[in-house]
Amino acid sequence: MLPPVERRAAMRRHHIRWRGKGKAPGWLATTGSGHRSTAPSPPGPCCASRRPVWIIAVCALLAAGAWCPGRASDPLKPTLPLPVQRALEVEDWPALLNGVNTDPLTNSILRLAMARALFETGRLPEEQFSWFHGPGPELLSTSDLKEYAGLAVIAETLLQLGQLNAAERLAFDALELEGEGPAVLRTLARLHVVKGFTNAAAIFLNRLQTYPEHSDWAVGLRAAIDTNAPAAADPTISRIRANVVTRDRIAAGLTTERLLKQALESNPENRMAFQFLVAHQLLTRQLLQTRQTLASSPQTREGPLPRHYAEALLLHRQLYPGIDLGALLSRVPPAVVADFQAFQEMMGHAKGGEQVQPQAWRDFGNTYWYYHFFGPLHSPGRLPSPASP
């Protein structure tokens, strides 16, 4: 075992090597053979064989001991509006949505935060294209991070998806490269609870308790750990445990789509992975893949389809008339069918995309159809209010 100083130097060398790859597209840039583990550890009591995890956690916090809360924001230009940053820190999802007043096209972390907020409030399949009007970075992209500000947001999302190893990798990277902050401390506390390393989780909870807005949560979770009922204090613990990926191929590198599909392979009922996968496929205009995902998922077997899923299916029928949509088509709400007929009439009278875009934005700006046809023409900026379709 290396002395502490040499261990920290080795960790720095590892991160310097990874930093040089940070601009590569997709998840391939942030995964590799240097990952800390190749399979998520099952929940259970800590034993002597787990001591390296303790050492990494303690050394990371000792290295961060001289940092004061909020230090990471000092040298970095904020990548999110201040109201969004504050809401994200305390996971107040409605407040986060209320704090967004710009079109989240180019900021990768804002796009991910928006998708997470819409998912947590149950609005992603119905309101995604009320916020996303043009193409931009992928939802789990690391190619547009500014000085690595945003690693903690990605790490927490991966944790909720069940990708424990990837979440651990980025959370420790965030701790070293961005500095100590409540978001990464909360992620690391949750991660170690799920892995069964409760004493390690207590270390991060002790640090998190020094932040006034997070003190009650940290104290409550620590008390729940003592009674072996952490999910009672933090319901996301149950969700993470149910979503844990059982076949981890992190060393091979993962694209956004493969990462989400891998989560669904482990748990087809992983609601977050399913909704994020459909959202990603819609954002990347993969209509054929979207239809396949909707047709094969157990999560779309009953009831009317959400608005954006129905919009995608109607467009799919027009663009690929030879492919049978089966029972999915009968579950498209009549109101969406009527709106699509109006959209087709507008497009039939159009003489060119640029000429018809203002009318399309006014009448159909909140639809997948607008995004699919006019997204590349849409300029980022403040969020206007097109008429609700």
Q: What secondary structure, in 3-state letters, does 130-174 show? A: HCCCCCCCCCCCCCCCECCECHHHHHHHHHHHCCHHHHHHHHHHH
* pLDDT, greater one: 166 or 277: 277
Q: CA angle, corner 21, sides to 15 and 22, nearest 5?
A: 85
pLDDT in tens, 146-156: 655 688 999 99
* pLDDT, greater one: 24 or 128: 128
Whole-model pTM over 0.85? no
* pLDDT, greater one: 10 or 233: 233
Residue 93 predicted with pLDDT over 50 = yes
Outline where 210-350 has alpha helix (H): 215-226, 230-233, 236-243, 256-266, 271-283, 287-296, 307-319, 334-348
Q: For the chain, which residues make up each domain, given as ranges? A: 4-71+147-243, 272-377
pLDDT in tens, 95-118: 999 999 888 888 889 999 999 999
pLDDT band at residue 250, thresholds of 50, 70 and 90? low
Residue 78 predicted with pLDDT over 60 = no
Identify the weakest region by mean pLDDT among 22-36, 117-131, 298-312: 22-36
* pLDDT, greater one: 192 or 47: 192
pLDDT band at residue 81, thresholds of 50, 70 and 90? confident
Residue 38 predicted with pLDDT over 60 = no
Could you tell me the two tokens for 182? 């409540």
Average pLDDT value for the chain = 81
pLDDT band at residue 36, thresholds of 50, 70 and 90? very low
pLDDT in tens, 50-77: 434 433 443 444 344 433 333 333 434 4
Identify the weakest region by mean pLDDT among 71-75, 136-140, 277-281, 344-348: 71-75
